[in-house]
Amino acid sequence: MSTTHTPRMALAIPLGLMAGLGPLCIDLYLPALPQLATDLAVPTASAQLSLTAGLLGLGFGQLLFGPLSDKYGRCKPLLISLCILLLASIACSFAQTLPQLLTARLFQGLGGAGGAVLSRAVARDRFSGHELTRFFAMLLLVNGLAPILAPIIGGFLTAYMSWRGIFLVLAGITVVLLYLAKTRIEESLVVEKRSQGSLFSAWKLLIDVIRHRPFMGFCLTQGFMMSGMFAYIGASPFVLQETYGLSPQNFSLCFALNGFGLILASQISSRLCPKFGEYTILRCGLIIAFIASSCLLISGLLHASLPVFLVALFFSIASNAIISTTASSLAMQSQGHRAGSASAVIGVTMFTLGSIAIPITGIGGSSALAMGATIFGCFMMAIIMFIFVAKKPEIVQKRH
SS (H, E, C) the chain: CCCCCCCHHHHHHHHHHHHCHHHHHHHCCHHHHHHHHHHCCCCHHHHHHHHHHHHHHHHHHHHHHHHHHHHHCCHHHHHHHHHHHHHHHHHHHCCCCHHHHHHHHHHHHHHHHHHHHHHHHHHHHHCCHHHHHHHHHHHHHHHCHHHHHHHHHHHHHHCCCCHHHHHHHHHHHHHHHHHHHHHHCCCCCCHHHCCCCCHHHHHHHHHHHHCCHHHHHHHHHHHHHHHHHHHHHHHHHHHHHHHCCCCHHHHHHHHHHHHHHHHHHHHHHHHHHHHHCHHHHHHHHHHHHHHHHHHHHHHHHCCCCHHHHHHHHHHHHHHHHHHHHHHHHHHHHCCHHHHHHHHHHHHHHHHHHHHHHHHHHHCCCCCHHHHHHHHHHHHHHHHHHHHHCCCCCHHHHCCC
Average pLDDT over residues 390-397: 56
CA atoms of 91 and 74, how far apart (whole Å) = 26
CB 394 within 8 A of CB 334: no
Going 78 to 79 to 80 to 85, the CA torsion angle's sign is: positive
Give 394's pLDDT tier (boundaries 50, 70, 90).
low
For residue 6, what pLDDT band results from cuts at 50, 70 and 90? low
**Average pLDDT of the residues in 145-154:** 70
Across 208-216, average pLDDT: 87
Once rounded to an integer, what is the mean pLDDT over residues 143-156? 70
Q: What is the dihedral of CA 162, 163, 168, 171, to 10 degrees?
A: 160
Highest mean pLDDT among 87-101, 171-185, 357-371: 87-101
Q: Are 56 and 359 in contact (CB under 8 A)?
A: no
Residue 334 has pLDDT above 60, yes or no: yes
pLDDT of residue 14: 79
Stretch among 3-7, 79-83, 211-215 having the lowest mean pLDDT: 3-7
- Which one has a higher pLDDT value, 356 or 335? 356
Q: Determine the pLDDT at residue 202.
A: 66
pLDDT surpassing 50 at residue 340: yes
Higher pLDDT residue, 299 or 347?
299
CATH of domain 8-187+198-392: 1.20.1250.20
Amino acid at 374: T
**Whether pLDDT at 132 is above 80:** no
**Is-contact 77 185, C-beta < 8 A?**
no
Q: Is residue 144 scored above 70 in pLDDT?
A: no
Confidence tier at 147 by pLDDT (50, 70, 90): low
Residues in the chain: 400
Give the C-alpha distances (Å, rounded to integers) separating 198 from 121, 195, 203, 284, 340.
20, 9, 9, 43, 16
Q: What angle do CA 335, 380, 63 make, to 5 degrees?
A: 35
> Quick check: 251 and 150 in contact, CB under 8 A?
no
The model's pTM is 0.72
pLDDT score of 148: 64
- More confident of the two residues 236 and 146: 236
Please name the amino acid found at residue 186: E
Contact criterion met (CB below 8 Å) for 113 and 64: yes
The mean pLDDT of 224-228, rounded to a whole number, is 92
Q: In one letter, which amino acid is 356?
A: I
Domain coordinates in residue numbering, the chain:
8-187+198-392
Question: What confidence tier does 400 reach under pLDDT thresholds 50, 70, 90?
Answer: very low
